[in-house]
Amino acid sequence: MPVNLSLPAAAVVPGVSLSTCAAGIKANGSDDMVLFSITPGSTTVGVFTQNTFCAAPVTVCKSHLEEQKQGDIRALLVNSGNANAGTGQPGIEAAKQHCAALAEQLDCDLNQVLPYSTGVIGEQLPNAKMLSALPGLVKNLDDSLPAWEHAARGIMTTDTVPKLTSKTVTIDGQVLTITGMSKGAGMIEPNMATMLAYVFTDAKIPKNDLNEALKISVHKSFNSITVDSDTSTNDACMLTATGVGATLSAEHSQWGDFQNALDEVLLLLAQAIVRDAEGATKFITAEINGGASVEDCRAIGYAIANSPLVKTAMFASDANVGRLLMAIGKVGLAKLDPYQVNVSVNGLAVFENGLLHPDYSEHKGGAVMQADDITVAVDLGMGKHAASIYTSDLSHDYVTINAEYRT
């Protein structure tokens, strides 16, 4: 069960139609292929995993995006159940073959189709099954809201719920929609990338501006979450502006409104991944203030968020101040003065002036820790920068899920 996960309702984005099917990649027969079809003249940008063992579809995606200089992508083809990673040259060939078959059926160029995979690493894709599923996917393309909801389920692996949400922003009196979906519950510490996320808007936006907006939003959302410190081989976050709606660019006086709305959608989708993380019973925000730089704040935030000792204490609803201090200290920030550091948990001051706060008691700590959403606020006393990192706890279910993933 996800932790306090309720996303604002989703709406369709004009210019996108979708279809989803069960091609037999997942052994349990649930949906495992999703096709996003995008209207001609749109602009698509993306960010990808930095993992050296990046999956075959990531390699193909990046090369197609580079070739297709206008970003006029016509289709995103996603399969779940198999990551097509660690599959060498045959994996690359398979991804290209699917793109080629789809390009023919959609009457577009090969490099206008982008492939994505997520699931088990190290196994070749079931090519025949996937190729034979394509005509059905093309035939069933649909631009209704249920098609979006269906797609958000089709990209899931160990997720327990689909993650789909929207935000609107009014530009020059015209309502624009931003709708996104994400998946992922484990192997989550995106590095300048994310798990699979697909975000669409009907705005018409120049490619460079769209790219810049995506990078800004991803930094504060998908690149600020961790479940288990492990960076997937398949992470991708895509943003498509279909161009059906209002025209917008970074020069526009309301560009900030668009960026804010995009930030909000991506943050909700990234947090949704953490709320639905493998075995999660708590949603934890490490909110770091008073840093000499954003990088320092992020390093401290990740040290807290990735510490198995902090995460098991959270699972036990234990306000374990010692482990929080340990995590802050292990980063080794050169000028950090322990006597200047303040720590609070859900508003309860726990550490101040190098000591437990005089009003703190384990009883009070235990009381605030009963909440499902926990914010550990740290003031480093070094400067004016801040960052927040989001994570889940480390529970028995996390071990069970990951020790039994393939058995």
| Ranges within 50-109 binding its own copies (CB under 8 A) | 50-54, 83, 85-90
10 Å Cβ neighbour count for 276?
26
Which residues lie below 8 Å from residue 385, measured CB to CB, with a gap of 6+?
Answer: 290, 291, 292, 293, 294, 296, 297
Question: Residue count at the site for its own copies (CB under 8 A)?
Answer: 68
**Among candidates 35, 212, 197, which has minimal Cα distance to 115?**
35
Given the complex with its own copies, which of 11 and 120 has the nearer CB atom?
120
Instruction: Mark 140-179 with x for binding to its own copies (rule: CB under 8 A) and - for no binding.
Output: ----------------------------------------
| Ranges within 214-233 binding its own copies (CB under 8 A) | 228-233
Please indicate whether residue 194 is annotated as part of the active site.
yes
Rule CB under 8 A: is residue 400 a binding residue for its own copies? yes
In the bound complex, what is the minimum distance in angstroms from residue 311's beta carbon to its own copies? 9
| Residue-level length of the chain | 407
Stretch (H or E) spanning 130: helix 127-139
Q: For 47-66, b where at least 16 C-beta lie within 10 A, e where not — what string?
A: bbbebeebbbbbbbbeebbe
User: Backbone dihedral region of 188: left (phi > 0), alpha (psi from -120 to 50 degrees) or beta?
Assistant: beta
Of 194, 226, 233, 281, which one is the catalytic site residue?
Answer: 194
Rule CB under 8 A: is residue 122 a binding residue for its own copies? yes
In the bound complex, what is the minimum distance in angstroms from residue 407's beta carbon to its own copies? 7
In the bound complex, what is the minimum distance in angstroms from residue 149's beta carbon to its own copies? 30
Among 36, 198, 222, 315, binds its own copies (CB under 8 A): 315
Rule CB under 8 A: is residue 121 a binding residue for its own copies? yes
Longest CA pairwise span in the chain (Å): 71
- Contact of 184 with 155, CB cutoff 8 Å: no
Given the complex with its own copies, which of 101 and 324 has the nearer CB atom?
324
Residue 275: what residue type?
A: R
DSSP 339: G
Question: Given the rule CB under 8 A, which residues bind its own copies?
Answer: 50-54, 83, 85-90, 120-123, 186-187, 189, 191, 228-233, 306-309, 312-313, 315-316, 318, 320-323, 325-333, 336, 338-339, 351, 353-356, 394-396, 398-400, 402-407
